[in-house]
Each structure stands twice: as C-alpha cells, then as structure tokens.
Structure 1
C-alpha cells in the first residue's frame, strides 16, 4: 500500500479513536462560520479536519469542505473530513471521511473513503479498481457485491417528493442514510445510488472513483449509479418523466 493510503488509514484510525473518547459536548455545536462547502461547520467537523490535515498535508495542497485551501503542493487533496456530519452530530452510525488526491495535471490518483462508525474502508488499487478493507485488519480484497439487493440509496430524497413517488410506483425501494461518499462506496451492494440537486466535489470526488465499472450518469441535475443496466435505464426514464 502506498504512503498516501497508509497515512489516510492511520488518520482514519485516529479519528475513530477520537470519536469514541467521547468528544466534549461543545464540539457538537455548529459555529457561525460557513465552510467552503457552503454549510456551517461544527466543532466536530473542524476537529476531524485537523486530524486529516496533519496526516496528509505533506502530500499536497488540501481543499477541505470546512476550511477551503490549506497548505501548498503540486497535487490537490479533496477532503470531506466528516461525510454525514448531521448523522455524527446526532450519533446516528453512518458517517465517515472522503479523500481524493489529484496530481498536478488534475488526474485522480488516489481515492479513500472510511466509515468511521463501523470501520469499513475503501480505496483504489494501482489499476484504479476498488478494494475493501477494515480499520481492524491489514488485508484488502475486492468488494463482494450483494447478488440480490432489495434497496437503492437515494441521498436527499426528502427534497424530491415527485421522484420518490415515481420510484415507489416502480417498486424501486430505497433508503436515504445521509452520507453521500459512503453511499457511493456501498453502491455495489445496492440496487442503485441516486442524488438529485446541486452537488459538491467534496461529496463525489472519491466516491465516484470507487464506482468504476458500474453504469454512471453525472448530469447537471443528478448523479445516478447502478451495477444493473436495466435498473439504471428504468431510473433514467423516471427522471426524464419528472422533468430532469
């Protein structure tokens, strides 16, 4: 495993330990500053940002969802230090970290997503294929997709009642767990991943890279991923019917 992934995994383990301290209550409060991603940052967001900046700063300039541009370097590291921060602040166990590293030409070289609630890790190998590991084990393997998934993942579904109703009529069940990068990392285990609305690079840079080999549509209005072409086409037809 290359030094960047080693540093990311070590930082993820440090973040895991920090979250189980537990952190002081004041870190669960949102501050008045708007982060680079457009949301108000919590003390928890910023505490985890410090952990990953300290670990990864030597590998390039960091573009963090919380603090924006940090440090210098030819490469750019796109960091969401707490993917699913509302879940973490609510102690709902579905949150993690998303990290993508682009070289000086803007080509993605490394992608790393960690579930800081259960220890699942995802990264790319040297050929750009997804691997799955754990904070508690040293072995990395190809992720094993669920053979007969019964649900999709529809992030921010609460803002799209018309599409929700159309998916229901089509019998396409879903969950909306609230952490985009994690949901992309788990896309192989589900029927589909769907996100509708404006999206930010912090949420998608690493997660989409982990979906190589699947059906992927990145449009101005939505992002759709599925390993099943029939399901993929059916949802695209639904989105068209809904005006997208």
Structure 2
C-alpha cells in the first residue's frame, strides 16, 4: 500500500472510532445548524481533528480542505480533501448510512482516496493508477450495458431547493426505465458502492468537493466514468455529478440533458 494511502486509512479508522463511540449517545451531543437542514455535531469536529492530526504528524507540509474546520489550503502542492462524517443527518437519527471520506490531491490531480464505513467496517481505497479495493480486494464497477434494469443512486438538492424542479424532472425521466432509484443519504458512500458494483449509476446536484473527491477516484480506478451534467470535468466546481459504469454513462447524460436548468450548466 502506498505510504500516503496507509496514513489516510489510519486517519479514517481513528475518525471511525470517534464516530462509533458516540453512536449510543446521540441525544447528548451538541448539535449546530449550519443552514436549513444542514447540521454539524461535536462528533464531526472531533472526527475531523483526528484525521488532520494523523495526517499532519506524517506530512506537516501538506494542506487541507476540510468541511468543518474551514481549512482551505488551496495553494499547496499536496492538499487533503476531508469530510469526517458524510451523512451527519443519518448519524443523528441512528440511520446507519454514513462514512468518513478522505482524498489527496497532488498538483491538481486526485492521487489517493479512502471512504470508510464505520458501521460495517468496510474500507474502500484507491491510488491513482493502482486500482480500487474494498478491504484489500480489487473492485470494479458493474458491467451494466444499458439503463434498463439498472439500479441508480441519487441525492435530493435539499440545500438548493431552487433546483428541485429540475431534479424531479430528471427523476421522472429515469424512473420508468431503470430497475430502481435509491437515496441513502451519504454521497461518499454511494460513490464507493458504485465503484464496488453495488449500484450502476449515480447523479446529484450541488455537492461539495469533500463529498465527492474520494469517490471520484474510487470510481475511476474501478473502471467507471465521472463527469458534470454535460460530461465534462467541472463537477468539483459546480457540484453537479454524474457517475456510472461506462456503458450507461452516455444514456445517463442524455436523460439528464433536457432537464438541466441554465444554472446547472454553469
């Protein structure tokens, strides 16, 4: 395992322990509201600090883009992109679908990725050019050849309700064609599951870099495709993401295209 990936795995496990220790005491946690339906707890802060401390001990010159601490060291060559608890609302309700997401971007390219599910103790990892793995076993995206029979993942644009009509139009377009659409509530874990072939495709509006950075590398290293709603590379900036196995990427984009509002093409 790459030494940097090994450190990321160690950091994810430390964060995971912080999260699982708190699972039985959710009703006693300090919880803040960042925005409407967007919450952060003391567990998010503690898990993020555990990640940062672990990585800084090994790589003190590296920077961070971290959801809760507000660290945004964009100018450094090596920057870690961190979501310590993707799926906070699920966690606060005892819904066991959340994950730790850690990615390394070196000179503008994603090079290492970890998504850790602490409830199932599943560790998804990837190194650029080295493939993707789940608990040390190689994973690949599904071999689905068309939308018919596909299982898709998605997320609601609850932070950007102005896009709800566009999103619902996309949902209605997919619904009669595919086998099912799932919205578990953790984009990082959805993308990891796509890399492992558990779902065939995914789309969502308005994600943040820390939601998707690790998952993007996992999918690419597992043989999948990732793009914005036009199939381009602006998803980290726009937050609008489509990902899938190769054969269903074009039909997913074609299905989405008629329902993009002008704001979703920027």
State the TM-score bracket (shorter-chain normalisation).
Answer: 0.7 to 0.9
SS in 2 for 1:203: helix
Query: Once superposed, what is the RMSD of the aligned Cα atoms?
Result: 2.8
Shift of 1:145: 4.7
**Aligned counterpart, 1:30:** 31
Q: Compute the TM-score of the two structures, normalised by the length of structure 1.
A: 0.82
Unaligned regions of 5+ residues in structure 2, if any? 159-163, 230-237, 262-266
Unaligned regions of 5+ residues in structure 1, if any? 134-139
Pick aligned residue for 1:218 from 207, 217, 228: 228
Structure with larger RCO (C-alpha < 8 A, sep 6+): 2
CA deviation vs aligned residue, 1:209-239 (integer Å, no higher than 9, x gap) = 111132322245731111142x323222221
Question: Number of matched residues?
Answer: 232
In structure 2, what is the Cα distance between the partners aligned to 1:108 and 1:147? 24
Pick aligned residue for 2:191 from 178, 181, 184: 184
- Higher fraction of helix: 2
**Aligned counterpart, 1:141:** 137
In structure 2, what is the Cα distance between the partners aligned to 1:122 and 1:100? 12
Change (3 A) 1:123 1:66: same
Q: For 1:83-232, list aligned pairs within 5 A.
A: 83-103=86-106, 105-125=107-127, 127-133=129-135, 140-145=136-141, 150-156=150-156, 159=164, 160-188=167-195, 189=197, 190-195=199-204, 197-212=205-220, 213-219=223-229, 220=238, 222-229=240-247, 231-232=248-249
